[in-house]
Amino acid sequence: YKIGDMANDVYELPKKSSPVLTGVASAVHITDGLENFEGMVELVFIQFQGYINIEQEGNYVFRLVSDDGSKLYIDNKEVVNNDGDHGSVGRDGEIILKKGRHTVRIGYYNNRGGYSVSLQWAKHGDNKFSIVPNSVLSHNKKMFKKSSPYIPPADLLKNIPGDRTPL
């Protein structure tokens, strides 16, 4: 999603507009320079959604590292809130999960400057965090929204007499 106005709640964008791009991520781990989303790295909002399959019931600690803001929801419950304009910072949240498939949704935005987002996890009491592997993540086709291509405002401008555009 392309952010038009940072004054609005960017996490509400998926309810109000269409994404510019859609696709499948093998994991939620994007670092500055790794991805550029067709040149759109500033004023963007990305929503990851799908399922996480839990093999063993237990208490899990999720870490969401991001530059700028991000939020993690599991089964529609906010687990991690790492919102705000900031450099790469990690925030943790803990949740008890039963064995089986659970819905997962991450909202992430980058205002300006560097960008990154990474979803990591560890069992309760273990400080060894690792990136949540794609082997436990899945999705279905119903989760995709139809995209609308982004056209930069400068490309929409027409040269008309008197607009002071260089000849």
- pTM for the model stands at 0.80
Tell me which residue of 7, 97, 10 sits closest to 55, measured CA to CA.
97
Q: Is beta strand 70-74 parallel, antiparallel or unpaired with respect to 130-131?
A: unpaired
> Could you tell me the sign of the dihedral formed by the alpha carbons of 13, 141, 79, 116, in that order?
negative
Q: What is the pLDDT of residues 77-100, one digit of tens each?
A: 999 999 999 999 999 999 999 999
pLDDT, tens digit, 9 for 90 and up, residues 95-111: 999 999 999 999 999 88
Burial 125-150 (b: 16+ CB within 10 A, else e): eeeebeebeeeebeeeeeeeeeeeeb
Q: Please write the tens of the pLDDT for every residue from 16-28.
A: 887 877 778 778 9
Could you give the percent of the chain with pLDDT greater than 70? Answer: 80
Encoded amino acid at 7, one letter = A
